[in-house]
Amino acid sequence: MVSAASTCVQSSCLVVNRFNGLSSSGVAFSSPTLLYKFNTKGSLIRCQTSTSTDEPKTTKKMNLLDNASNLLTNFLSGGKITSMPVAEGAVSDLFGKPLFFSLYDWFLEHGSVYKLAFGPKAFVVVSDPIVARHILRENAFSYDKGVLADILEPIMGKGLIPADLDTWKQRRRVIAPGFHALYLEAMVKVFGDCSERMMTKIEQLLEAEASRGEKTITLDLESEFSSLALDIIGLGVFNYDFGSVTNESPVIKAVYGTLFEAEHRSTFYFPYWKFPLAKWLVPRQRKFQNDLKYINDCLNELIKNAKETREEADVEKLQQRDYLNLKDASLLRFLVDMRGVDADDRQLRDDLMTMLIAGHETTAAVLTWAVFLLAQHPSKLRKAQEEIDSVLGEGRTTFESIKKLDYLRLIVVEALRLYPQPPLLIRRSLKSDQLPGGYMGNIDGYGIPAGTDIFVSVYNLHRSPYFWDNPNEFEPERFRVQKSSQGIEGWSGFDPSRSPGALYPNEIISDFAFLPFGGGPRKCVGDQFALMESTVALAMLLQKFDVELKGSPDDVELVTGATIHTKNGLWCHLKKRSNVQS
Ligand code: HEM
């Protein structure tokens, strides 16, 4: 809609209202305060900030707490980043719903770079691919993990996620080559073995029910996926079989206790664990210390065993081993055997603990939301089953068959688009920086001082109406057609040819509009592991069973810690598929 109040006089300039839809190219253009024009290539570029006031402003009632919080925020940090839009009413809005929902509402209201007053702290919230790329890739080493490192350091020590830069550089060089092709191929077999245990358990439950004349069972699939992911990560990372799909053991309880504490810390308002007497005075802290000790003892034992059977070799040699027939084809084996890298036991333990936590709940969540979405779209569920039937028949998923499960792979990434794990990436600037303005922001960008805490909202990016058609709809097919060279200036659109041979769409194809595993040097090391694991588990579930939600989708409440999960489980009705022979 062209506004008369615009200060732009060029005939090709547009002033568009907030959220007035998508252009024919599928790229939305909208902002209450900015002018855009098409350049010669058909890309939208920002041309001037408008002072237009023709759009009625919704006035929000602020309570005393919000006002105090905003004043304090501006006092503490706002002086240096005042030009940025500020999300007001932060404190009261944060209660009662997951944080990322509020961040999304404010993104629609304030644009893709804004400042969030959060108690006495200010966070800059980024929902724009160009700004995300600037922080995560182009200036990656001007930022660290900030609040996240504070929270995770007591659990992960110097593991990759919270590590200081020097340690990170050294360990990343050692760990990343461990996820090589032959290892992943061997892992696909592990994914299949572990998934089979879960399917056998469901079949046994169904058989027990059948003896009572029932054809259906009701199961919390989130909890089943959590057990499955724990078994897989244990075997893949340190060759330990938790057997949690079928067992309960003290080590499993300790792992869940630690995961729970990591999540609690990431959502609590102050760092209670830093108080000197916390471990004596707070019962949950004592339990946490005990859990941690239990797991560390277990990991130490595994490290000791691996070292006793060490067979030193160069990286290239290690990457060519016959992993399918190696007794313990785990990352630990690789890390211990690597020639010239003698990590002390403590560092190895931190590495293993980090991968255990990073790789467990994330993958379980992807499976949970994939099923949640499929159960609401029976035709897409059937389409996936048809593909599974034609590719696998009644056989197992193999490394080769994953390549043929085209639709299922897109279901996995679409679940990650709608429910990214984690929904926010956290950074802190190590020095002052100039952020690009973002899609709706200041044309000159925003200067930020050292120490600025940043949330890169992957959730907002993945549901941005500026970059996705029907952003809130479950449309796995979108990745087949999502090809656009159009976009805002500096963003190169979607283009699968940028990542030839990639099995799954990624941040390169989308030039940072799709960031399920982050991007730049600190991108997830386990992305292919996790994607294949999810594909195999989903294929084996849908191959055998029909799944329906118990109750309405609205009954499934979301909560967030490190990942998005349900409040009370994903309760589903399962029954054996009619065309599957027992
Ligand atoms: C679907 C499952 C997974 C998702 C969605 C996921 C997502 C992510 C994301 C977004 C990051 C970047 C964080 C940041 O930039 O702040 C990350 C980092 C990391 N992930 Fe994953 N991850 C998954 C599975 C795994 C698995 C299976 C492993 C290991 C076996 C793993 C190990 C790691 C590690 C070690 C890092 C830190 C990398 C570094 O800082 O160098 N992740 N993950």
Nearest residue (CA) to ligand 1, atom 25: 359
Which CATH number fits the domain 169-420+515-576, given the four candidates 3.40.50.720, 3.40.50.300, 3.40.50.2300, 1.10.630.10? 1.10.630.10
Q: How confident is the model at residue 98 (pLDDT cuts 50, 70, 90)?
A: confident
The token duo for 328 is 């313990």
Domain ranges of the chain: 169-420+515-576
Instruction: Give yes or no for a contact between 354 and 159, defined as CB atoms under 8 angstroms apart.
Output: yes
The residue-averaged pLDDT of 98-103 equals 86
Q: Which helix (H) or strand (E) holds 117?
A: strand 113-118
Report how far residue 393's alpha carbon sits from residue 138's, in angstroms, rounded to the nearest whole number.
46
Instruction: Tell which one of 524, 533, 560, 565 to mutate to probe ligand 1, the residue whose CB is within 8 A of the most ligand atoms.
Output: 524
Q: From CA 115, how far away is CA 106, in angstroms rounded?
A: 10
Q: What is the pLDDT of residues 474-515, one digit of tens each?
A: 999 999 876 665 567 888 888 888 898 899 999 999 999 999
Tallying the residues shown for the chain, one arrives at 582
Query: What gap in Å lies between CA 132 and CA 512, rounded to an integer?
Result: 7
Measure CA 40 to chain center. Answer: 36
Report d(CA 423, CA 88) in Å as an integer.
Answer: 21
User: Phi and psi for 131 in degrees, rounded to 5?
Assistant: -70, -40
Whether this model's pTM surpasses 0.90: no
Residue that the structure tokens 């035709």 belong to: 379
Residue positions in the annotated binding site? 524
Find out whether 54 and 31 touch, Cβ atoms under 8 Å. no
Contact criterion met (CB below 8 Å) for 450 and 440: no
Tokens read off for 500: 């030839």
DSSP per-residue codes, 480-547: HH--B---BTT---B-GGGSTT-SS--TTTTTTS--BTB-GGGS-TTHHHHHHHHHHHHHHHHHHEEE
Q: Give the pLDDT of residue 119.
A: 61
Q: How far does residue 226's CA lie from ligand 1's centre (Å)?
A: 16
* Ligand 1: nearest atom to the Cα of 416: 5
Residue 542, classified by CB atoms within 10 Å of its CB into exposed (0-12), middle (13-18) or buried (19+), is: buried
Q: Give the Å distance between the CA of 200 and the centre of ligand 1.
A: 29
Residue identifier of the C-alpha nearest atom 4 of ligand 1: 362
How many angstroms separate the CA atoms of 389 and 581, rounded? 13
pLDDT of residue 114: 93
Residue 116 near residue 106 (C-beta atoms within 8 A): yes
* Residue 267 pLDDT exceeds 70: no
ipTM, two decimals? 0.99
Whether residue 99 has pLDDT greater than 90: no
| pLDDT tens-place string over residues 439-472 | 777 788 999 999 999 999 999 999 999 889 999 9
Q: In the structure, which protein residues have their CB atom closer than 6 angstroms to any atom of ligand 1?
A: 160-161, 172, 237, 354-355, 358-359, 362-363, 366, 421, 425, 516-518, 522, 524-526, 529-530
Mean pLDDT for the chain overall: 82
Nearest atom of ligand 1 to the alpha carbon of 362: 2
pLDDT at 555 (0 to 100): 92
Nearest-CA residue for ligand 1 atom 21 is 524
Contact between 555 and 452 (Cβ < 8 Å)? no
Inter-residue contact 315 to 177 (CB < 8 Å)? yes
Which segments within 284-443 are labelled E, that is strand? 424-429, 433-435
Q: Which atom of ligand 1 is nearest to the CA of 163?
A: 40
